[in-house]
């Protein structure tokens, strides 16, 4: 078998009670009904030779290598497609079977290049291994007749090749693309000897393929193989770790040769992904060793000065001296820090500890401010805890899926694949989104209802759904009576029953057909297990928190909470958004969401850390910027976050950064924020450090160091050095000690340790005495807050309105191949799919403005103007335009506004009134930005060259 693969049982493992007992080669084995003979044999470590079977896909029975004999039956059936039966007596190794298998293998090998010694899959090839297994030593047939040895190679995909001369047409790739990924990009063309794998008449790059790699993983030969493995050879060692991109939190085996990662193989035992991946986690890790990485600390007195490389000690000393000078001159609250959802929990915990215990204030905020802070607020109010209620697996038991303001196939692809599989199996689907996302209609999936609302009207729609449920008597009264605060429910029911919330009354604002909305409400309330999945299309609004509470209201009213298949599921954007919030990086909360004014909690931290702590909530990111512009906030430490690109109203943010005396940026690259920095501390990628991330299902996953930190320090070590320099003594020798401190001070993490994580693989918090192995589904018998709390959710239209000057609404989002501000993915071959941000515009709006596909257009709001190329598409409705913000040069956030969620200040990225017109030049901001950017990139290049 392959050098680094896990056990492959050949066909998918069936779950359930092991009630069927059979005998295989004289040994008794009991397995669940539906298990194949092949899998049963594998379970007793008696593997049957196979080629077309692999346990990630259903058996196909084409290669005929896995033949068996069954007592009392004629013939030699394929073990992969033969289900076990009680009392069955199976033989897998008779002389007849061995002869047949050698014959089958001989035919395969006679049409396969015999270049094993120089093949990229040498020693990692199932065909080669099985040829050895079946004892094939000679091939009687030559290559004289027809063969496929000159079949072409398709190298169009940036990450893998398709060398069709090596294909044995086992169709594992086709089935993986269908069953695991759900994309249906591949097919078997032709019949018999002429059959071959096809990609729809085009090459891989131009096909429907989304480059998830499931086919590459499933391929038993070198036909589909990673380019890096072809170039560099077979990996030698493996480190199990967690993807550093999105909130799905996929587990991977990083396979390395020396200190170079040659491939990332999705880990079957990873509970969030179960062996699947997307293009980012599997292939787009090259940024970690990109030449743009800054590996030496740097300082400069003024942001106009060139950077000077210095030692770690000098950089830390400079930052600490400035810290002391500024705090002495401007006061205790003139300093603060921003932690990152891209960093580990341990790193985030240290940053907030340094601020609270060392700065003497609570001026710590996190990038979750700009994405899921409303989730924390809304779910805490209604359920009592700031997190999603389910595990991903729960969706396998869902009957009605509601996806609102989320685009899982692009932003959370591995969960998106799982969801599509459930939809193909018959679950119903309601999509609430201004855009026609891929889930609305795709191969073998179709939403029952697509409520294409106008951006900014989520609350109106959610209230209208609730109105129908209450007015039509669809409330799950037994659930509400037993689990929720009754008086509170009654006032909510009266509120939503008011005619002003009816689908008819809200139709004008939302643009949704009342009958469609009524039908969708009935389906969610009565269709069985209903689960709601939502994303930033819900939270990044002036009523983001209101929407989250309205979603929670719906789940409670219909009893869709507290068991598998239901729930309220925020799809977290970045890899560790959940964790960075859990670790206490908001200015008003300690770890575990306990308010800083809570005396007993604060006293406990004061005892643990040995210093008095402030009970006043600190500054949020927007407040820091405002205070900086006012001259009161002067020193900022930003770890792993690029507020100059990712936060709204770029000009305001950069004005704030310019106004500070000392900005300390820690990052992998000289990012946009670093333009305004005085100290640059090199960051470490996820491959270079130990720690943990927490994904959208509250799952704590281990991050394990695969290579040493390229700049000499992991981020937690740099923070510790800075903390010591500003007077907070820290002496951790390993991140596990930081997690021990988290566990000792945070009740929901009480049972978490690295030893426990290594033992269980991962743990979903709460993990404590009551739940020592974690909690997959929350609020099972009662809500964390006791009784569920219905909240009144009045719809208040955003102040951002369309009008004659700005008649269109801009909404923003993420696409599959790129990630957020693109700092990582732009430095990978994924640029092949998305080299610039474009503006999606409906044909009607384009025609009115004389805009053709590909034209450069000016996108103008009241805060700024940028230019980008137009893409005409019906994915957006008339009146709505859409873009991404992956490329700094585009400056998408130059046009977004200062409006934000009333409760949390989460910016209203999703609604900006704009005008679009054709243009022939880039905007003033972009021209200036490019001039500055060119010099920045020149600096970057000079530093990279010097380092090389």
CB of 891 closer than 8 Å to CB of 863: no
- Specify burial of residue 509 (Cβ count, 10 A radius: 0-12, 13-18, 19+): middle
Closest C-alpha to 428, from 537, 529, 290, 568: 529
Query: Distance (Å, rounded) from C-alpha 866 to C-alpha 153?
Result: 42
Shortest distance, position 49 Cβ to ligand FES, whole Å: 8
Among 168, 254, 523, 859, binds ligand SF4 (CB under 6 A): 168
Indicate which of ligand SF4, ligand FES, none lies near residue 105 (CB less than 5 to 8 Å, by partner kind): none
CB of 671 closer than 8 Å to CB of 644: yes
Instruction: Please say which residue, 209 or 872, places its beta carbon nearer to ligand SF4.
Output: 209
What's the gap between Cα 935 and its chain centre?
33
Indicate which of ligand FES, ligand SF4, none lies near residue 101 (CB less than 5 to 8 Å, by partner kind): none
Binding mask 61-100 for ligand FES (x = CB under 6 A): xxxxxx-----------x-x--------------------
Name the strand (E) or helix (H) holding 810: strand 808-812
| H and E: helices and strands count for the chain | 29, 37
Shortest distance, position 115 Cβ to ligand FES, whole Å: 24
What's the gap between Cα 925 and its chain centre?
31
Shortest distance, position 154 Cβ to ligand FES, whole Å: 25
Binding mask 190-219 for ligand SF4 (x = CB under 6 A): -------x-----------xxxxxxx--xx
Among 31, 84, 121, 224, binds ligand SF4 (CB under 6 A): 224
Cα–Cα distance list, 6 to 240, 361, 408 (Å): 12, 49, 28
50: Cα within 13 Å, side-chain hemisphere? 31
CB of 901 closer than 8 Å to CB of 543: yes
Question: What is residue 517's three-state secondary structure?
Answer: helix
Among 35, 42, 47, 50, binds ligand FES (CB under 6 A): 50
Q: Which stretch binds ligand FES (CB under 6 A): 50-58, 608-616, 626-634, 668-676?
A: 50-58
Residue 394 as a binder of ligand SF4 (CB under 6 A): the answer is no
- State the number of binding residues for ligand SF4 (CB under 6 A): 41
Indicate which of ligand SF4, ligand FES, none lies near residue 62 (CB less than 5 to 8 Å, by partner kind): ligand FES
CB of 263 closer than 8 Å to CB of 285: no
Question: What is residue 229's three-state secondary structure?
Answer: helix
Residue 243 as a binder of ligand SF4 (CB under 6 A): the answer is yes
Among 56, 76, 92, 221, binds ligand SF4 (CB under 6 A): 221
Q: Which stretch binds ligand FES (CB under 6 A): 48-56, 187-195, 461-469, 592-600?
A: 48-56
Closest C-alpha to 221, from 151, 278, 269: 151
Closest C-alpha to 145, from 173, 188, 107, 198: 107
- Specify burial of residue 860 (Cβ count, 10 A radius: 0-12, 13-18, 19+): buried
Indicate which of ligand SF4, ligand FES, none lies near residue 51 (CB less than 5 to 8 Å, by partner kind): ligand FES
Q: Which stretch binds ligand SF4 (CB under 6 A): 101-109, 140-148, 166-174, 286-294?
A: 166-174
CB of 861 closer than 8 Å to CB of 908: no
Query: Distance (Å, rounded) from C-alpha 940 to C-alpha 938?
Result: 5
Structure tokens at 321: 């001296």
Residues facing 24 on adjacent strands: 27, 90
CB of 794 closer than 8 Å to CB of 500: no
Instruction: Please say which residue, 261 or 713, places its beta carbon nearer to ligand SF4.
Output: 261
Shortest distance, position 189 Cβ to ligand FES, whole Å: 20
Query: Distance (Å, rounded) from C-alpha 282 to C-alpha 476?
Result: 43
Burial 264-295 (b: 16+ CB within 10 A, else e): bbbbbebbbbbbbbbbbbbbbbbbbbeebbbe
What's the gap between Cα 159 and its chain centre?
20
CB of 38 closer than 8 Å to CB of 49: no
Instruction: Please say which residue, 177 or 256, places its beta carbon nearer to ligand SF4.
Output: 177
Shortest distance, position 52 Cβ to ligand SF4, whole Å: 7
Residue 701 as a binder of ligand SF4 (CB under 6 A): the answer is no
Residue 128 as a binder of ligand SF4 (CB under 6 A): the answer is no
Q: Which stretch binds ligand FES (CB under 6 A): 59-67, 222-230, 269-277, 916-924?
A: 59-67
Residue 170 as a binder of ligand SF4 (CB under 6 A): the answer is yes
Shortest distance, position 62 Cβ to ligand FES, whole Å: 6
Binding mask 23-52 for ligand SF4 (x = CB under 6 A): ------------------------------
Residue 53 as a binder of ligand FES (CB under 6 A): the answer is yes
Residue 121 as a binder of ligand SF4 (CB under 6 A): the answer is no
Residue 402 as a binder of ligand FES (CB under 6 A): the answer is no
Q: Which stretch binds ligand FES (CB under 6 A): 57-65, 446-454, 554-562, 826-834?
A: 57-65
402 to 421, contacts with ligand SF4 by CB under 6 A? Answer: 412-414
Instruction: Please say which residue, 81 or 719, places its beta carbon nearer to ligand SF4.
Output: 81
Instruction: Please say which residue, 80 or 261, places its beta carbon nearer to ligand FES.
Output: 80
Query: Distance (Å, rounded) from C-alpha 328 to C-alpha 348?
Result: 26
Indicate which of ligand SF4, ligand FES, none lies near residue 257 (CB less than 5 to 8 Å, by partner kind): none
Query: Distance (Å, rounded) from C-alpha 808 to C-alpha 802?
Result: 6
Residues facing 451 on adjacent strands: 432
Q: Which stretch binds ligand SF4 (CB under 6 A): 274-282, 288-296, 605-613, 699-707?
A: 274-282
Query: Distance (Å, rounded) from C-alpha 817 to C-alpha 825?
Result: 8
Indicate which of ligand FES, ligand SF4, none lies near residue 80 (CB less than 5 to 8 Å, by partner kind): ligand FES
Indicate which of ligand SF4, ligand FES, none lies near residue 213 (CB less than 5 to 8 Å, by partner kind): ligand SF4
Strands 530-534 and 567-570: parallel
Q: By the criterion CB under 6 A, which residues form the site for ligand SF4? A: 167-173, 176-177, 181, 183, 185-186, 197, 209-215, 218-221, 223-224, 243, 245-246, 248-250, 273, 277-278, 280-281, 412-414
Q: By the criterion CB under 6 A, which residues form the site for ligand FES? A: 50-53, 61-66, 78, 80
């Amino acid at each position: 078998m392959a050098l680094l693969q896990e056990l492959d049982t050949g066909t998918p493992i069936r779950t359930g009670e092991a009630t069927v007992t059979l005998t295989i080669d004289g040994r008794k084995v009991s397995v669940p009904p539906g298990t194949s003979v092949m899998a049963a044999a594998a379970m007793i470590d008696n593997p049957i030779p196979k080629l077309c079977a692999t346990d990630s896909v259903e058996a196909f029975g084409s290669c005929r290598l896995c033949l068996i004999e069954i007592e009392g039956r004629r013939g030699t059936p394929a073990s992969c497609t033969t289900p076990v039966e009680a009392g069955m007596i199976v033989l897998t190794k008779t002389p007849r079977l061995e002869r047949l298998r050698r014959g089958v293998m001989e035919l395969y090998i006679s049409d396969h290049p015999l270049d094993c010694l120089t093949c990229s899959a040498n020693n990692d090839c199932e065909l080669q291994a099985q040829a050895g297994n079946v004892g094939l030593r000679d091939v009687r047939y030559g290559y004289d007749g027809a063969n496929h040895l000159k079949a072409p190679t398709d190298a169009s995909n940036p990450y893998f090749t398709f060398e069709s001369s090596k294909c044995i047409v086992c169709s594992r790739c086709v089935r993986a693309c269908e069953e695991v990924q759900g994309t249906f990009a591949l097919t078997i063309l032709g019949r018999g000897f002429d059959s071959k794998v096809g990609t729809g008449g085009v090459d891989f790059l131009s096909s429907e393929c989304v480059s998830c790699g499931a086919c590459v993983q499933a391929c038993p030969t070198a036909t589909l193989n990673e380019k890096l493995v072809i170039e560099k050879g077979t990996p030698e060692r493996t480190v199990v770790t967690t993807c550093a991109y999105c909130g799905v939190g996929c587990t991977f085996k990083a396979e390395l040769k020396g200190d170079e990662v040659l491939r990332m193989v999705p880990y079957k035992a990873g509970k969030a992904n179960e062996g699947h991946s997307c293009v980012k986690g599997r292939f787009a890790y090259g940024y970690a060793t990109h030449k743009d990485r800054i590996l030496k600390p740097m300082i400069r007195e003024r942001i106009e000065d060139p950077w000077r490389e210095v030692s770690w000690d000098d950089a830390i000393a400079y930052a600490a001296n400035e810290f002391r000078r500024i705090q002495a001159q401007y006061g205790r609250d003139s300093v603060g820090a921003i932690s990152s959802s891209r960093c580990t929990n341990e790193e985030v915990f240290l940053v907030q500890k340094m601020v609270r215990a060392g700065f003497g204030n609570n001026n710590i905020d996190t990038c979750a401010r700009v994405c899921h802070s409303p989730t924390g607020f809304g779910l805490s109010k209604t359920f009592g805890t700031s997190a999603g209620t389910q595990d991903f697996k729960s969706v396998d038991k869902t009957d009605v899926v509601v996806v609102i303001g989320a685009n899982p196939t692009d932003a959370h692809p591995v969960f998106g694949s799982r969801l599509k599989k459930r939809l193909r199996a018959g679950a119903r689907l309601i999509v609430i989104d201004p855009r026609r996302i891929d889930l609305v209609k795709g191969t073998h999936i179709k939403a029952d209802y697509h409520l294409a609302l106008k951006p900014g009207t989520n609350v109106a729609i959610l209230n209208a759904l609730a109105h129908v449920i209450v007015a039509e008597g669809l409330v799950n009264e037994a659930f509400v009576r037993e689990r929720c605060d009754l008086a509170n429910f009654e006032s909510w029911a009266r509120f939503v029953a008011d005619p002003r919330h009816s689908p008819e009354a809200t139709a004008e604002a939302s643009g949704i057909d009342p009958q469609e909305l009524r039908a969708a409400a009935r389906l969610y309330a009565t269709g069985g297990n209903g689960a709601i999945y939502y994303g930033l299309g819900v939270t990044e609004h002036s009523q983001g928190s209101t929407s989250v509470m309205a979603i929670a209201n719906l789940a409670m009213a219909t009893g869709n909470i507290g068991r598998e298949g239901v729930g309220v599921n925020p799809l977290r954007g970045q890899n560790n958004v959940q964790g960075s919030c859990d670790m206490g990086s908001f200015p008003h909360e300690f770890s575990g969401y306990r308010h800083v004014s809570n005396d007993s909690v604060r006293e406990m931290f004061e005892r643990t850390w040995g210093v008095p702590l402030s009970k006043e909530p600190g500054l949020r990111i927007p407040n820091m910027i405002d205070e900086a512009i006012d001259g009161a906030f002067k020193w900022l430490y930003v770890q792993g976050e690029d507020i100059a690109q990712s936060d709204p109203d770029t000009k305001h943010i950069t004005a704030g950064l310019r106004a500070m005396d000392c900005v300390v940026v820690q990052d992998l690259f000289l990012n946009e924020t670093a333009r305004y920095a005085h100290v640059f501390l090199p960051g470490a990628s996820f491959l270079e450090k130990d720690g943990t991330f927490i994904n959208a299902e509250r799952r704590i996953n281990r991050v394990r160091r695969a290579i040493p930190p390229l700049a000499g320090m992991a981020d937690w070590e740099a923070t510790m050095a800075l903390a010591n320099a500003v007077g907070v003594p820290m002496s951790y020798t390993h991140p596990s000690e930081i997690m021990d401190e988290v566990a000792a001070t945070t009740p929901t993490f009480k049972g978490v340790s690295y030893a426990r994580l290594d033992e269980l693989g991962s743990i979903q918090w709460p993990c404590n005495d009551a739940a020592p192995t974690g909690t997959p589904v929350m609020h099972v018998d009662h809500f964390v807050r006791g009784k569920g709390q219905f909240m009144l959710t009045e719809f208040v239209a955003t102040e951002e309105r369309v009008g004659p000057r700005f008649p269109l609404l801009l909404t923003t989002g993420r696409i599959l191949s790129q990630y957020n501000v693109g700092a990582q993915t732009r430095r990978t071959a994924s640029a092949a799919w998305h080299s610039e941000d474009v503006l999606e515009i409906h044909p009607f709006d384009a025609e009115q403005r004389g805009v053709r596909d590909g034209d450069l257009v000016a996108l103008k709001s009241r805060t700024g103007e940028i230019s980008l190329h137009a893409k005409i598409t019906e994915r957006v409705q008339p009146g709505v335009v859409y873009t991404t913000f992956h490329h700094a040069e585009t400056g998408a956030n130059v046009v977004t506004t200062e409006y934000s969620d009333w409760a949390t200040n989460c910016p209203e990225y999703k609604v900006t009134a704009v005008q679009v017109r054709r243009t022939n030049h880039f905007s003033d901001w972009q021209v200036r930005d490019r001039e500055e950017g060119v010099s920045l990139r020149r600096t970057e290049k000079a530093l990279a060259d010097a380092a090389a």
